[in-house]
Amino acid sequence: MINILWFLLGFFGIEVIATLIHKYLMHGPLWFIHESHHRPKGKFELNDLFAVLFGGTGIWLLIAGSLADFDYRFWIGLGTSVYGGVYFYLHDVLVHRRTFSAKTPEITYIQALRHAHRMHHKHVNKMPSESYGLLFFNWRYISEIKKAK
């Protein structure tokens, strides 16, 4: 049971951490890297370095935890790694269509998530901006999707 809690901490914790990093660092002093995501010019972006950083952290936790009899680090790393897969599908496939085109499911939450992220990208400059998280976003986007249906 405790391992499930560590997994959930990793999964949802990385969303909170990534949201804060996105808002205060990527749209702050690290804008020179993140700007490539708001003004893409090709298939790969300098911003992809953040995926390497987050992915590397998850892999390090998996390895360190597995070498210590699968302690809490393994389960947190597994949670962050699963989050990375979910993030890739939602962000790169459904929102930005970076890898292959997939139809957006007729699920209000997924459509609102996509809408919230697109509203974030309506801003091509560092500031102003909105909706820095992926899974957690302002519930007004749910209302906007429901009204549009």
pTM of the model: 0.89
Expressed as residue numbers, the domain containing 16 is: 2-148
Residues 94 and 28: their CA atoms lie apart, in Å, by 26
Which pLDDT score, from 0 to 100, does residue 117 have?
Answer: 93
For the chain, what's the residue count? 149
* Ranges of residues in the chain whose predicted pLDDT is under 50: none
Q: Structurally, how many domains does the chain consist of?
A: 1
Give tens-digit pLDDT for 34-68: 999 998 787 789 999 999 999 999 999 999 999 99
Q: What is the pLDDT of residue 113?
A: 94
Please report the pLDDT score of residue 32 as a whole number: 95
